[in-house]
A and B are shown apart, each in its own frame.
Chain A
Amino acid sequence: SSLSGLGTHGWRAPMDCLRASEMCNQNPQCSSRFRIMRQCLVGRDRTTMLANKECQAALEVLQDSPLYDCRCKRGMKKELQCLQSYWSIHMGLNEGEELYETSPYEPMHFSDEFRLASIISAMDSALSKGNLCSDTGKPCNPCLDAAKACNLNDTCKRQRSAYIATCNRATPITHNQEPCNRKRCHKALRQFFERVQTEFSYPLLFCSCRDKACAERRRQTIVPACSFEEKVKPNCLELRRTCRSDPLCRSRLADFHMNCQTTPHSITSCPNDNYHGCLVSYVGLIGSDVTPNYVDANHTNITISPWCSCRGSGNQETECEAFLRDFRENACLRNAIQAFGYGADAGFLPITESQSVVPSERPNLQPAIITKPVISSNDIKPVDSACVFSTCANLKDGGQKCSPSNSFECADESMLDPNMDGS
């Protein structure tokens, strides 16, 4: 709209939603429509309310106001109010049950890549200073080194002790009471990641492990017994609905979906090949209703998941499994974590979802690097590339010798038997 100028690269620099709602409130026409929109959203049956004329008119005006494109900054002052302003208009724009919502946070630009580089260099310097990993004979445990680095830094140590003491407090277990105060634990975890430099907090979460003990320490970082596990696993869609009823959680989930969504058209599988964006939005989820964590101490193959299942999804099982897949089978998230953890080890190759083909494009974009895709040996999964068999069309006529294309090797024939049933 007229008020927001275009930023570099033809990208529009977003205004902060607090200022946008202040400007709207100063404009009589905008503020009255903003009030109407909020009333439209209060009603239980939002969709019918949004279909009514007055709500449509309000939406029309608001789409021209700075509120339409406004964003918020992570860790800004009054971040929660900014997010509340954002959702008060965007709740009207979305249907509400979308799989993915637009993130209210300002996107992280390429400049942030250098911050990632500094984090990796911090890991390099820690490793080169001859700590446990480079000592011969001593077991290599980068997560233990991360704990040491944190313990030796006053802020990190204090904040870490604060959340552990809060989350680990074994309140008296009376019959079926939770072992700790989960809400207070989540708040302490959020404060830890907001107040402690990423150079100390990220290595605790994303350290690379070569053995089970290290992987278990990494899994324990957020004190899962209190912040993650619960007696009963809720349905994932129920968890998402609870999250979306809280502006902070809703924002962090939208941000995670936006920055960690597996993107077929990128080398790293991450949107805009931005690992850091994914890591920041992943950490943003810790301490919310959808707190994710490593599900086990497997050091070779990491699996991350929120604490929920798709049992009892009824007809929405596919959507539920899609929500769960965004955590458990997310190539972008896995690559981002491994890039951070193994950043110091050369030779890390990101796993791509499928062959990344970027067709001929405008001259000033760098050419795509095509890596050879890997087909799983025992099954074609829908997300994998198709299986190709090529035969010569005119073989029978003994005509010109042709060599069938063997761009892929398929699994054994049985795999193609359609009544192979699995659910």
Chain B
Amino acid sequence: LYFPQSTYSETIYVGQPAGAPVLQVHSMRERPSEEPYFCLSWRNIQKPPLYAAWFHLDPLTGVLYMNKTLEWTDFDSLSSSTLGYTRKLTLKVAAAPVSQKATCIHHSRVDVSLTFINATAPSCGQKMEKLCFPDGDISSHIKENRLPGALRQLRRFTHADICPNYTISYRVEAGTIEMPFAVNNATSELVVTAPVDREEKELYRLIIVCNVRTADMLHRLDTPLLINIYDEDDTAPYVNGTDSEDVLIEFSRSEGTVFGHVFVYDRDTTPSYPKDQTENKFVGTLMTNDSWIKDTFTILHGFREEKAMFGNVRGTVHEYKLSLSRNVLVDERRSVQLDYLVNDTTYPGTEGTVMLHFNITILPVPIQFSNITYIFVLSRKSSIYSQIGKVCVDNCLKFKGIDIVYQLEISDRNVSSDVLSCYTTVNVARSLEEMSGVLYVNDTKPFYRPECQELQYVLVAQEQQKQLQTKTHLLIIFDELSIKMAERPRSLTCAEKRQRGECETFKGMGAPTGRCHWRQGTDKGISENYSTCSPDLRTCPDGYCDVIESKNMSICPQDCTRVPIIGGHERGLMLGIKAGYGTCYCYSEKCFCEQDEMEEPICDDMC
């Protein structure tokens, strides 16, 4: 048995006579043999509330009657924590099969909410619709695939005696499409005449016609009544098109990477509430005993509710994706067919399962420099931390889950110790966000020694899991014979300079040309294109504190600073100055962003 309404509500007035019906509760049958037995159920059976005695419930029809005539004093006897001229009385009606009427109060219950108004019933001639229909939203619900039966009393019992010589009758407005609903004229109950299929239609919008015949007039009042059709798991899952997906695993081999997806459809709804939901629950099983497959792959399952694709009726689309539960070795080579059984556990029928297939191909990734040698020309004026260039094993920018480390070795070991000491000039560091290497100036002293002309390195790239290694040649050529010691700069930060003139004559860290570069902003207001002095406009500022810049905060504070920024600015997500007002410049403890005209002196009391 189930109740076709989530709550029953009605208004009662002073003077409501004893024996008068108030409303009728219905209970829909789940099995033909069920006959409902109704009872009033109070939380505290021994001490029901004061107003319990005012009502009586017919156990067979579910009609609630007044047991006494309501007086003005009855209203005042009700204590309430709110003021005003209405009181809310909450009753609970339970319904059990007649065979279990002894335990009726322990069966499922529905709320009956009565609004007791501190006034007598309205006189005849008031709003006609009050005689026909209750206040507010009227809606009912029935389960799909269930038996016909009465689901709602249309008459408004509490207003029946207001106009005794009116005759009120109801009917369902005939519509173009067949509606399995009708009115039982004898009882004015709305009846569902046949089982309904939610997957066909989940909401019926009936027009209830109420005819009120007075002495000389016939009034017809229409109002919509919504009937929601409740779902049950009565349709099997199915696949639309393909139940398999081809997956190629090559450069992306890291844990958590997701590949491909297969969709399974189900015309039933799948409630996402409550979280540990039980209806229409899909369970999936990996159909393999191969431990390597079990340890390497997992299937991710998510679902969402859709309507349009199911003929404007809610249904569910399940999505299955293949995901790596660990890194795949760089030299792994394998072809696997992974079968995954999806089971609609609450579907009663036999075809509640669907088998999905993931055809997986894993290719090994060669760690090699295919026919490439690196040659870079380096200015002796370069300052320390100048970025020289990038090195990258084949496809290194696509690598995920393959860890590469780069190192430099000296090609010819038996050169003189003097020449050997030239090789401290260059070093390599692995980039932070990809698997490439960044060559940079690590020591500027060799720039001032004529014997250091050309450096021949061996660039070694080593994969960290299987220690696969590859090498190639790296040639660094100095652009001049030598420079005098006097020109040797004290390594400082370009970012301190706040004007073009002093910037472009300054030797700051990270400057490949040995000179800082001025970027002139053009926008008004706070802008990402702020004016600033930078060692290398290719990499600073670019909103990203790269592996070389993070070695020393003075190289590019615009990308890496964490110090307070004074003036109009927007901080980068992680670090640095994303946007600034006018010119941005930085000292060790603070950065400033301000308009350039700050320069001309303004007076104060010391002038």
Task: State the A residues within 8 Å of B (CB).
Answer: 6, 9-12, 14, 51, 56, 59-60, 63, 69, 71, 93, 95, 98-99, 102, 106-107, 109-110, 170, 172-173, 235, 237-238, 241, 258, 264-265, 271-272, 311-320, 322, 353-355, 357-362, 365, 380-383, 385-394, 400, 402, 404-405, 407, 416-423
Contact = CB atoms under 8 A, between A and B. Distances in A.
A110 B233 CA distance: 52
22 contacts: A56-B46, A60-B46, A69-B79, A170-B573, A237-B273, A238-B272, A272-B82, A311-B305, A312-B270, A316-B273, A318-B141, A320-B273, A358-B85, A365-B85, A382-B225, A382-B226, A388-B219, A389-B219, A400-B216, A402-B216, A418-B207, A420-B205
B224 A381 contact: yes
Contacts of A383: 136-137
B216 A394 contact: yes
B249 to A, nearest CB: 20
Nearest to B119: A361
A110 to B, nearest CB: 7
Contacts of B111: 98
B81 A314 contact: no
Given A388-B219, A394-B216, A423 B305 contact: no
Nearest to A13: B81
Contacts of A313: 271, 273
A38 B129 CA distance: 48
A382 B273 contact: no
B217 A404 contact: yes
Contact of A360 (B123, B128, B172): B123
Given A359-B121, A362-B72, A422-B205, A393 B136 contact: no
Interface stretch (B174-182, B423-431, B533-541): B174-182
Q: Which 5 A-B pairs have the closest CB atoms?
A: A314-B271, A361-B119, A312-B272, A418-B175, A359-B122
B394 interface: no
Contact of B217 (A93, A272, A390): A390
B135 A354 contact: yes
B173 A361 contact: no
A314 B311 CA distance: 17
A357 B124 CA distance: 12
B133 interface: yes
A59 B274 contact: no
Nearest to B172: A418
Interface string B42-63: 0111110000000000000000
A72 to B, nearest CB: 12
B81 A380 contact: no
Given A237-B273, A361-B117, A361-B120, 8 more contacts: A6-B79, A238-B273, A238-B275, A265-B85, A272-B82, A315-B228, A359-B122, A389-B222
Interface string B1-26: 00000110000010000000000000
Contacts of A315: 141, 228, 230-231, 269, 271
Interface string B230-242: 1100000000000
B176 A380 contact: no
Contact of B119 (A360, A392, A393): A360
Contacts of B224: 380-382
A238 B174 CA distance: 39
A27 to B, nearest CB: 18
A12 B79 contact: yes
B173 A314 contact: no
Most chain-A Cβ atoms within 10 A of its Cβ — which of B85, B111, B139, B214?
B85
A405 B219 contact: yes
Contact of A317 (B120, B219, B228): B228
A241 B273 contact: yes
A392 B80 CA distance: 47
A417 B109 CA distance: 36
B262 to A, nearest CB: 21
B27 to A, nearest CB: 17
A107 B83 contact: yes
A364 to B, nearest CB: 10
A107 B80 CA distance: 10
Nearest to B13: A359
B368 interface: no
A317 B83 CA distance: 33
Contact of B136 (A10, A170, A173, A264): A264
A360 B573 contact: no
Interface in B189-245: 201-203, 205-207, 210, 213-226, 228, 230-231
Nearest to A400: B216
A106 B81 contact: yes
A313 B202 CA distance: 13
B221 A393 contact: no
Nearest to A93: B43
Contacts of B225: 382
Interface string B263-285: 00000011111110101100000
A107 to B, nearest CB: 5
Nearest to B280: A314
Given A312-B270, A312-B272, A107 B82 contact: yes
Contacts of A318: 6, 139, 141, 228
A405 B217 contact: yes
A385 B223 CA distance: 8
A386 B83 contact: no
A36 B314 CA distance: 45
Contact of B117 (A14, A265, A272, A320): A265
Given A264-B135, A390-B217, A71 B81 contact: yes
Contact of A386 (B84, B210, B272, B312): B210
B144 to A, nearest CB: 10
B45 A56 contact: yes
Most chain-A Cβ atoms within 10 A of its Cβ — which of B43, B72, B122, B179?
B43
A271 B226 contact: no
Contacts of A359: 13, 117, 119-123, 126
A388 B132 CA distance: 11
A359 B307 CA distance: 45
Contacts of B222: 380, 386-387, 389, 416
Contacts of A391: 217-218, 220
Contacts of A402: 216-217
Contacts of A51: 106
A212 to B, nearest CB: 22
B334 interface: no
Contacts of A362: 72, 118-119
Contacts of B271: 235, 312-316
A265 B231 CA distance: 35
Contacts of A95: 109
A416 B173 contact: yes
